[in-house]
Amino acid sequence: MGKVMLEVKELTTKYVTRFNEDVYAVDHVSLKIEEGKSLGIAGESGCGKSTLALSLMGYYFSPLHYTSGDIIIDGVNISGMKPDEVRKSILGNEIAYIPQAAMNALNPTQKIIRFVEDVIHAHDPKKSKKEIYDMAVERFKVLGLPPEVLQRHAVELSGGMKQRTVIAISTILSPKVLIADEPSSALDVTSQKMVIKMMRELMEKGFIKSMIFITHELPLLYNVTDDIMVMYAGQIVEKGSAKEMVFDPVHPYSKGLMGSIIVPEAGTREVKLEAIPGTPPNLKNPPDGCRFAARCKYAKLECRTYDVPEKEFRDGRMYRCIHDVEYLKEVYGRDE
């Protein structure tokens, strides 16, 4: 078992709306990533996966507020830190964050090398420009990016190239955790593949020690991460290895989600897509009991009152449902 890079215990964060209502977008989430491992977070829009990404950085700005729980990066608890402290000492060298529109963050009037200098100087002001340049060229070469890019302006690069450049720059300090929130969703499929390839290289070459990858595209997640976690209405409903999660989901919601995957592969035309009726609950006042109960085919009366805890049924395999694994397997078999 590797060294634990990131551990989150019972993290709860909320949004405060204009009318002072609390919306708990991340509700008692716990997770653990070991060195060299990657975790994928899947879920529908509004399930809290992007909020989780923001919360993990410890970088809280209104309307997002920290409520409770711990975030431990390589043994250091950062949950109580002030945003300014987090920016100075955590972002960049401990955690790197790449949102979907990261490529638009590059100031078009500056050369790419300037951003590299900014990132490094934020943590090591003494480094000379020459050292930084050599370091950047080295890293770009290893990642398969042409080093000439460093002397260019952002507007001269294509969308895919910009996104890869941003990823290379934000991981230049070899952070312990990389949080990527839909990093390739705004790109065409070819650029997406290049981004994914690069992220895999980052992991393999040890430039990042662990990764959290957030997307709603399940086939992508399956190909990128070791483990997958499914979120629903601010909570984790199931967690397991990527293969098990895609081909052998336990929770009825994960089952539906995995059943909606479409890939252009022979034989998939005949498989009927699964559909889950209804919409996720409003997090302003979430329902009692299981949050998925209202849409669940297998819901019992107790589901609506009994708060189901996370149940671990095998090493690293967790789900949140009132039913036993055996029962669920049986009904799934019957339904097919």
Note the residues at the interface with other proteins (CB under 8 A): 18, 44-45, 62-63, 188-190, 192-194, 196-197, 200, 216-220, 222-223, 246, 256-257, 259-269, 273-277, 279
Closest contact distance (angstroms) between CB of 26 and other proteins is: 18
**Kind and range of the H or E run holding 23:** strand 22-34
Residue 101: φ, ψ to 5°: -95, 25
Count the helices and strands in the chain (H runs, E runs).
10, 12
Rounded (10°) angle between helices 159-170 and 112-123: 20
Residue 188: φ, ψ to 5°: -75, 165
Task: CB nearer to other proteins: give 277 or 309.
Answer: 277
Task: CB nearer to other proteins: give 77 or 268.
Answer: 268
Task: CB nearer to other proteins: give 30 or 185.
Answer: 185
Closest contact distance (angstroms) between CB of 173 and other proteins is: 25
Task: CB nearer to other proteins: give 193 or 311.
Answer: 193
Closest contact distance (angstroms) between CB of 151 and other proteins is: 24
Closest contact distance (angstroms) between CB of 2 and other proteins is: 24
In the sheet where 22-34 sits, what is the strand order? 22-34, 4-16, 64-73, 76-77
Task: CB nearer to other proteins: give 176 or 255.
Answer: 255
CB 24 within 8 A of CB 46: no
Closest contact distance (angstroms) between CB of 262 and other proteins is: 4
Which pair of tokens denotes residue 285? 């006042």
CB 63 within 8 A of CB 28: no
CB environment 126-165: b (16+ within 10 A), e (fewer): eeeeeebbeebbebbeebebeeebbeeebeebeebbbbbb
Task: CB nearer to other proteins: give 46 or 147.
Answer: 46
Closest contact distance (angstroms) between CB of 121 and other proteins is: 31
